[in-house]
Amino acid sequence: MKIDKENCIAVLIDVQERLFPVMGQSDDLLRACLTLLQGMEILEIPLLITEQYPKGLGTTLKDLSDLASGIEPMEKISFSCMGDAVFKATLEESKRKQVIIAGIESHVCVMQTVRDLQEAGYQAVVLADAISSRKNSDRAVALERMRTEGALITTVESLLFELTVVAGTERFKAISRLVK
């Protein structure tokens, strides 16, 4: 059950200009994703970003892409990130087996990615406060299905403190400031 800093990588799935405004609780979602990205930087955890058909759905939200300025989003057309050869190869090259998941939509791209990650031998760590769908019922059902299929469900703040491990360090202080 332990999430190990040296064995994890984060994925931000499809938080794009034309999709984001119709998501449930979009303000909370953005806040959670911003906190996650800043936390991954503080903790020096690699991050991957995907974009579902950016010609039609736009690019990653500017607030998020500005925080991840050195990361090139991976364009995909399959709902599951694992259906994209570049994503799959990048994940394999990382040699990390725990995959932290944030993004949209919970019941489509997020859920299918989690299912395929689990099937491929990865441990999916889904951040319940950093995923969303247009309808809350779709999000709720997706969370239950992902949990049933073996995904670990947690929150951004819980994850960041678990990865920080101990209090009193500069990383702990930075994470504490971040979540307040």
Query: What span, in angstroms and rounded, lies between the C-alpha atoms of 20 and 61?
Result: 8
Contact call for residues 132 and 106 (beta carbons, < 8 A): yes
| 14 tagged catalytic | yes
| 55 tagged catalytic | no
> Catalytic: which of 8, 14, 84, 129?
14
CB burial of residue 27 (10 Å; 0-12, 13-18, 19+): exposed
> Catalytic: which of 8, 33, 109, 116?
109
| 28 tagged catalytic | no
Which residues, in sequence order, are CB contacts of 115 under 8 Å at separation 6+?
A: 80, 146, 149
> Catalytic: which of 33, 76, 116, 129?
76
Q: Which residues are catalytic?
A: 14, 76, 109
